[in-house]
C-alpha cells in the first residue's frame, strides 16, 4: 500500500490552480475578467499561502523530532487535516474580504514534548511567518523582474503585501501568535500558564486594537509598508491591487 502521508493534496493543487487561473484572467483585455482575475489571485493565493504557512510549521517540527505530523497528514498541505479548518482557512479568507487584515489561524497540532530542544520549539513557531515572508519576497521579485500587465502586477503586489502583513502580525510576542510561541519555551511556568489562558482570545483582541484604537492601525500598516518596501515591493502597485480586489466598494 502506497504511503500518502507526504503526497501533495489535490485540494492544495486546486487552490494553486485557482491562483494561476486568476493570473491568466488578469492579463486579458476585459474589465470584468481582469477584476475576476485579481480576486482569484488574492483569495486563491492567500488560501495557498495559509497552507504553506502551516506546512512550514509541520515540516520544521518533523525535522525537529515530531514524527507524528506526517501521520496526521500535515505534510500533504491539505487544509482538511488541520485541527480547525474554519479558523485556519475560512475565517482568515473572510477577514481578508472584509478588512484586509490577514488573521492568523491555529491549524496544526505539534507535539512539543517530541521536539529535541527549546531551540527546535522556537524554530517551529517562526517557520510559519518566515514562510509568509519568503512568499512575499518571491512575489515582489517576480513583479520587479518579469514584464507583466498592470492588473497582474497589482494583484500579485497586493498578495505580496498581505504576506508581509501576516509576517509582521504573526511575529508579535502575543499569546496565540507565532512570535509568542518562539519565546514561550524560555518563559516561567506562571507566564506560560497566563499565555495559555489568553491564547484563545489574544489574536482577535489584537485585531480589535488595530481596528478600534486610534493611531494603532496606521502605525502597524506603516511598519508593514516599510518592510514591504525593504523586500522590493511597490506600495503604489499594492494599493492598486487592493483597489481592484475590492470591486464591490465601487458598485
Taking 90 as the threshold, does the pLDDT of residue 201 lie above it?
no
Q: What's the pLDDT score for residue 105? A: 61
First to last CA, the chain: 54
Active-site residue flag, 54: yes
164, 227 in Cβ contact below 8 A?
yes
More confident residue, 96 or 182: 182
pLDDT digits 0-9 by tens, 77-119: 998 888 666 666 777 888 788 776 777 666 788 999 999 999 9
Taking 60 as the threshold, does the pLDDT of residue 211 lie above it?
yes
Alpha helices, DSSP H, located in the chain:
10-25, 31-64, 68-71, 85, 91-99, 118-145, 150-170, 178-183, 189-198, 202-212, 216-230, 235-245
C-alpha cell at 32: 470584468
Q: What's the pLDDT score for residue 249? A: 87
pTM for the complete prediction?
Answer: 0.92
pLDDT above 70 covers what percent of the chain? 93
Taking 60 as the threshold, does the pLDDT of residue 3 lie above it?
no
Confidence band of 200 (pLDDT split at 50, 70, 90): confident
C-alpha cell at 84: 480547525
Confidence band of 1 (pLDDT split at 50, 70, 90): very low
pLDDT digits 0-9 by tens, 125-178: 999 999 999 999 999 999 999 999 999 999 999 999 999 999 999 999 988 899
Average pLDDT over residues 230-251: 94
Q: How far apart, in whole angstroms, are the C-alpha atoms of residue 58 and residue 73?
A: 10
Amino acid at each position: 500500500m502506497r504511503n500518502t502521508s507526504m503526497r501533495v493534496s489535490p485540494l492544495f493543487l486546486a487552490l494553486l490552480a485557482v491562483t494561476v487561473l486568476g493570473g491568466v484572467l488578469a492579463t486579458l483585455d476585459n474589465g470584468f475578467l481582469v477584476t475576476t482575475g485579481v480576486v482569484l489571485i488574492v483569495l486563491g493565493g492567500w488560501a495557498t499561502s495559509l497552507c504553506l504557512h502551516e506546512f512550514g510549521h509541520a515540516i520544521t517540527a518533523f525535522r525537529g523530532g515530531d514524527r507524528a505530523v506526517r501521520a496526521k497528514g500535515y505534510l500533504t498541505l491539505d487544509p482538511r487535516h488541520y485541527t480547525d479548518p474554519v479558523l485556519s482557512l475560512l475565517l482568515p479568507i473572510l477577514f481578508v474580504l472584509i478588512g484586509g487584515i490577514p488573521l492568523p489561524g491555529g491549524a496544526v497540532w505539534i507535539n512539543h514534548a517530541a521536539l529535541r530542544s527549546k531551540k527546535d520549539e522556537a524554530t517551529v513557531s517562526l517557520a510559519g511567518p518566515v514562510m509568509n515572508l519568503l512568499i512575499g519576497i518571491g512575489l515582489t521579485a517576480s513583479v520587479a523582474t518579469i514584464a507583466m500587465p498592470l492588473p497582474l502586477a497589482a494583484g500579485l503586489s497586493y498578495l505580496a503585501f498581505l504576506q508581509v502583513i501576516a509576517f509582521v502580525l504573526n511575529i508579535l510576542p502575543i499569546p496565540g501568535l507565532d512570535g509568542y510561541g518562539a519565546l514561550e519555551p524560555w518563559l516561567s511556568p506562571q507566564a506560560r500558564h497566563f499565555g495559555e489562558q489568553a491564547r484563545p482570545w489574544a489574536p482577535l483582541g489584537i485585531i480589535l486594537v488595530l481596528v478600534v484604537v486610534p493611531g494603532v492601525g496606521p502605525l502597524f500598516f506603516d511598519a508593514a509598508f516599510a518592510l514591504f518596501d525593504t523586500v522590493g515591493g511597490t506600495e503604489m502597485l499594492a494599493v492598486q491591487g487592493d483597489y481592484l480586489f475590492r470591486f464591490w466598494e465601487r458598485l
